[in-house]
Amino acid sequence: MRPLSFEVDGWIILVGALAGAACAVPGSWLLVRGRLMAGDAVTHAVLPGIAGAFLMTGSRDPMVMLIGAAISGVACLLLAVLLERTLRVDKGAALGTAFTVFFAVGLVLIVRGADRVDLDPSCVLYGALELTPVDRVDWFGMDLPRALPILTTTLVACALASFLFFKELRLAAFDPAFANAIGARPLVMDLLLAALVALVSVAAFESVGSILVVALLAALPAAARMLTNRMGWILVIGPLLGAVAAVIGHASAILIPPLVSATATDTSSAGAIAVASGAIFAVCVALGPEDGLLPKLARQSRLRLRIAREEALAQLWRARERETPLEVASLLTLMDQSALRRRTSRGALRMLRTENHVSCDDGIHLALTPTGAVAASQIIRSHRLWESFLASRADIRPDHVHTTATLLEHVTTPELAIRLADEAASTTDPHGHSIPRAENPTQD
Amino acid sequence: MTLIHGTESSLPGLEHASDAAICVHDLTVAYDGRPVLWDIDLDFPTGSFAGVIGPNGAGKSTLLKAILGQVPTTSGRVLVHGASFESQRRLIGYVPQRESVDWDFPVRAVDVVAMGAYARLGWCRSVSREVIDEATHMLARVGMESFALRQIGRLSGGQQQRIFLARALMQRARVYLLDEPFASVDAATEQVILEVLHQLRQDGATIIAVHHDLATAAHAFDWCVLLNMRVVAAGPTPTTLTNANLAKTYGGRLTILSEAADALRAAARRGDS
């Protein structure tokens, strides 16, 4: 294992981070516009333009490459529209066909040209991130890796466009019909977005390769979307995650292979950054505060526990009305009818014991404590109010209302209970049981 | 041609009323070569609360989109307060169908309402504090002020519709075009929308709403357009919303017209290849 050095790895990580951040800016807009596929197409379609421009001029000047890329990118989108309109090919199929053909032509050009000039197909696909510190340029008197000023300019350009046209880009992405109606020209914003995608693909493909561009374009904005509901924050968090992916990716490309096999050396940093982007996305999907899997599971299990708790209280109240105390086992059997898992039911029971709502004085039979009785009466109240309402106002047969009322009693807020009491206007449920009075006197 | 124009109600002819808020003349719109609106002549009087009524596929939304210049027209022209739509764009407030946007979009209710001021703001100008204040005020007018900072995806359908209405209010328009504003909304929302629209009309605005619910049409609108690919009848509600006209509107397409439309599409397709 080689030690990480600032002179080499510092530059590589910086270049990777800039590429990741730059790609995430137009990627965020593509994500919310639902156009990541078109972004994917443009990143591939620029390849023949880049190769052609290089083969014709022999220059690696970024401006020359950008012009070539713009020409082939636009040509590909036009071809896709042409296929769609004239031959009535499906939109996705037209785009998919057009960009793969363009990508293939680009590869053929590069392989043919590689005989004569220094252009490496694998470098185009996977990039040459490891070589960036070697390929240097003088920029305003500073001796820097060549990719650094290119990517910095690109990132600034993307950020500036997003800042200046934030409101127009957001409107065009959210509601193109309304944008059109007020003369905000959503089509111009689509073109601006396509131009930004072409720009980042050209700037980033040399260092990180065209395959990684796609990963950076999609994965990190999607990860950022899991963390926030604000467009502005997506545009900040997405690029930051891009930079994080570069650091994690490059470090693991050097540090992890030796752990797996003693003879292994560094793996491709660009590849590792793509994997890191995927990993970051996976973490955000798992932990995202609103739609994340783990918070969602936690919310669901809290809800199930609450329902089980209320169900247990209700059953104990009914047992007290029947004057037949329940044992733990028979209570659990009764709760099984509400499709509750045994584990949840037991958990709810433990909770009620620690809350001091339920006591078990003789070690066998369960009983409601005074505070437990108050809580139980309010659940029974909303259950029986619903039964009464459903039977008297919604004309549902009395023997049908129990199941529905069991569902509704758990979602009844105090405000809803007040309205329900007014509507139901009854002191007994359809089965003749009395409806407990409201605990809060204002509800009576 | 008697099939198209031969209705007994007050169909406007070539001479259009000069006080019309929206004047549609000989408009034909085709999708994919197949006409969905034939030779539409319509005047919406200034200050009217007009409903555009007809069955599914009658071309109601298409008529609104054609007025807004959003669909290419085969023939005809549209005037807004006497001049072309392009020059009068700022006079129009628009409420699209709720289904036309992605409600998971990362944006808050107040930001959506502020979009109604974008045309005034112009390019590159950011949304100012005053615009946000005004947007909050518009949210209050539709009873949604406590939801200003809510992500739009977390709102109910009726609340989303009110957000769209508040955005149209931000446009400070003289003519409001609404596409199915009452579709699948709760009773409270319908009441709020009607109140706001009546208030707008009292302030001199013209309201044109696409509507499919016949039960509420009679008391909601004072002007009705019955549409089914062509104008069946148009005029004040009491004389227009008659059983005879409704039967004509909802009693199936004019078969000959539908067949002709299909033939035109087939011809257009042959012409392409």
B107 close to A (CB below 8 A) = yes
Give every CB contact of residue A163 below 8 A, 6+ residues apart in sequence: none
Which strand ranges, in their side-by-side order, compose the sheet holding B230-236? B92-95, B175-179, B206-211, B49-53, B223-228, B230-236
> What's the CA gap between B144 and A411, in Å, rounded?
23
pLDDT at B13 over 50: no
Q: Residue A30: list chain B partners with CB under 8 A.
A: none
Cβ–Cβ of B115/A166 closer than 8 Å? no
Class of the A296-443 domain? mainly alpha
The residue that leads in pLDDT, B73 or A6, is B73
> What's the CA gap between B86 and A301, in Å, rounded?
56
Render pLDDT for B100-117 as a digit per residue (tens, 0 to 9): 888 989 999 999 999 999
Amino acid (one-letter) located at A281: F
> What's the CA gap between A62 and A66, in Å, rounded?
6
Q: A114 falls in which pLDDT band (50, 70, 90)?
A: low
Q: Residue A86: list chain B partners with CB under 8 A.
A: 272-273
Closest residue of chain B to A28, computed from CA coordinates: B106
**Cross-strand pairs, B195:** none
Closest residue of chain B to A233, computed from CA coordinates: B106
**Cross-strand pairs, B34:** B31
What are the angstrom distances between the C-alpha of A272 and each of A16, A132, A152, A216, A246?
Answer: 11, 16, 22, 12, 8
The residue that leads in pLDDT, B43 or A139, is B43
Render pLDDT for A383-442 as a digit per residue (tens, 0 to 9): 888 888 888 877 888 777 888 888 788 887 777 878 888 877 777 887 778 888 777 544
Give every CB contact of residue B19 below 8 A, 6+ residues apart in sequence: B45, B46
pLDDT at B170 over 60: yes
The residue that leads in pLDDT, A162 or A113, is A162
Class of the A6-289 domain? mainly alpha
- The confidence score (pLDDT) of residue A444 equals 38
- The confidence score (pLDDT) of residue B271 equals 61
Query: Tell me, what CATH number does B234's domain have?
Result: 3.40.50.300
Mean of pLDDT values over A79-83 = 86
Q: Residue B115: list chain A partners with CB under 8 A.
A: 167, 171, 174-175, 178
B92 close to A (CB below 8 A) = yes
Q: Residue B244, CB half-sphere, CA atoms under 13 Å: how many?
A: 7
- The confidence score (pLDDT) of residue A73 equals 86
Render pLDDT for B118-163 as a digit per residue (tens, 0 to 9): 988 888 888 889 999 999 999 999 999 999 999 999 999 999 999 9
Residue B237 · residue B218 · CB < 8 Å:
yes
Render pLDDT for A146-188 as a digit per residue (tens, 0 to 9): 888 889 999 999 999 999 999 999 999 999 889 988 988 888 8
B132 close to A (CB below 8 A) = no
Alpha-helix runs per DSSP H in A186-323: 186-227, 231-260, 269-287, 293-322
**Domain-wise residue ranges, chain A:** 6-289, 296-443
pLDDT at B189 over 80: yes
Cβ–Cβ of A183/B89 closer than 8 Å? yes
Q: B7 falls in which pLDDT band (50, 70, 90)?
A: very low
Give the pairing type, strands B206-211 and B175-179. parallel
If you ran DSSP here, which 8-state letter would residue B252 be given?
A: -
Across the interface, which of A34, A168, A230 has its CB nearest the CB of B106?
A: A230
- The confidence score (pLDDT) of residue A374 equals 87
- The confidence score (pLDDT) of residue A390 equals 83
The residue that leads in pLDDT, B138 or A360, is B138
Render pLDDT for A290-344 as a digit per residue (tens, 0 to 9): 888 898 899 889 988 988 998 899 889 888 888 888 888 888 888 888 778 888 8
- The confidence score (pLDDT) of residue B6 equals 37
Give the residue among A170, A172, A168, A151 at the shortest CA–CA distance from A242: A151
CA angle B73, B75, B76 (to 5 degrees): 100
Domains contained in chain B, number:
1
> What's the CA gap between B191 and B196, in Å, rounded?
9
Which strand ranges, in their side-by-side order, compose the sheet holding A358-359? A326-327, A365-368, A358-359
Domain encompassing residue B115: 2-272
Cβ–Cβ of A181/B112 closer than 8 Å? no
Cβ–Cβ of A228/B106 closer than 8 Å? yes
Amino acid (one-letter) located at B111: D
Please provide the average confidence, as pLDDT, over all residues in chain B: 85
> What's the CA gap between A354 and A370, in Å, rounded?
14
Cβ–Cβ of A184/B118 closer than 8 Å? yes
Site from B100, B123, B178 to mutate, A interface, most A CB atoms within 10 angstroms: B123
The residue that leads in pLDDT, A288 or A417, is A288
pLDDT at A245 over 90: yes
pLDDT at A57 over 60: yes
Distance from CA of B42 to the nearest CA of A (A): 21
- The confidence score (pLDDT) of residue B139 equals 95
> What's the CA gap between B254 and B271, in Å, rounded?
26
Alpha-helix runs per DSSP H in chain B: 2-5, 60-67, 85-88, 109-114, 118-121, 129-141, 157-170, 187-202, 214-220, 237-240, 243-250, 255-272
Residue A2 · residue A257 · CB < 8 Å:
no
Residue A269 · residue A12 · CB < 8 Å:
yes
Q: B5 falls in which pLDDT band (50, 70, 90)?
A: very low
CA angle B103, B163, B101 (to 5 degrees): 30
Give the residue among A79, A152, A73, A61 at the shortest CA–CA distance from A106: A73
Quickly count: other Cβ atoms within 10 Å of residue A176's Cβ: 20
Distance from CA of A204 to the nearest CA of B (A): 28
- The confidence score (pLDDT) of residue B33 equals 78
If you ran DSSP here, which 8-state letter would residue B126 be given?
A: P
- The confidence score (pLDDT) of residue A206 equals 74
Backbone angles phi and psi of A62, in degrees to 5: -55, -35
B96 close to A (CB below 8 A) = yes
Alpha-helix runs per DSSP H in B35-156: 60-67, 85-88, 109-114, 118-121, 129-141
Site from B31, B67, B107, B178 to mutate, A interface, most A CB atoms within 10 angstroms: B107
Distance from CA of A179 to the nearest CA of B (A): 9
Q: A237 falls in which pLDDT band (50, 70, 90)?
A: very high
pLDDT at A443 over 50: no
CA angle B109, B115, B118 (to 5 degrees): 160
Backbone angles phi and psi of A153, in degrees to 5: -60, -45
Backbone angles phi and psi of B207, in degrees to 5: -120, 130
> What's the CA gap between A114 and B145, in Å, rounded?
64
Distance from CA of B66 to the nearest CA of A (A): 11
Distance from CA of A337 to the nearest CA of B (A): 33
To which residue do tokens 């659990």 refer?
Answer: A332
What are the angstrom distances between the C-alpha of A104 and each of A45, A99, B177, B260?
Answer: 9, 8, 49, 46
Q: What is the widest separation between alpha-carbon atoms in chain A?
A: 97
Helix H or strand E segment including B11: none
- The confidence score (pLDDT) of residue A432 equals 78
Token pair of B248 as six digits: 């004509």
Strand (E) positions, A350-441? 358-359, 365-368
Least confidently predicted of A223-227, A389-393, B269-273: B269-273
pLDDT at A258 over 70: yes
Q: A100 falls in which pLDDT band (50, 70, 90)?
A: very high
> What's the CA gap between A232 and A159, in Å, rounded?
11
Cβ–Cβ of B101/A174 closer than 8 Å? yes
Q: Residue B263, CB half-sphere, CA atoms under 13 Å: how many?
A: 6
B112 close to A (CB below 8 A) = yes
- Give the DSSP letter string of A314-361: HHHHHHHHHT-PEEHHHHHHHHHTTT--HHHHHHHHHHHHHTTSEE-T
- The confidence score (pLDDT) of residue B17 equals 55
- The confidence score (pLDDT) of residue A58 equals 77
pLDDT at B8 over 70: no
What are the angstrom distances between the C-alpha of B87 and each of A172, A183, B79?
Answer: 21, 10, 10
Distance from CA of B236 to the nearest CA of A (A): 28
Amino acid (one-letter) located at A404: T
Site from B61, B67, B118 to mutate, A interface, most A CB atoms within 10 angstroms: B118
- The CA-based dihedral angle spanning residues B42, B45, B47, B52, taken in that order and rounded to the nearest 10 degrees: -20
Quickly count: other Cβ atoms within 10 Å of residue A253's Cβ: 24
Both ends of chain A: CA-CA distance in Å? Answer: 76
What are the angstrom distances between the C-alpha of A261 and each of A90, A100, A255, A257, A258?
Answer: 48, 37, 11, 6, 5
B94 close to A (CB below 8 A) = yes
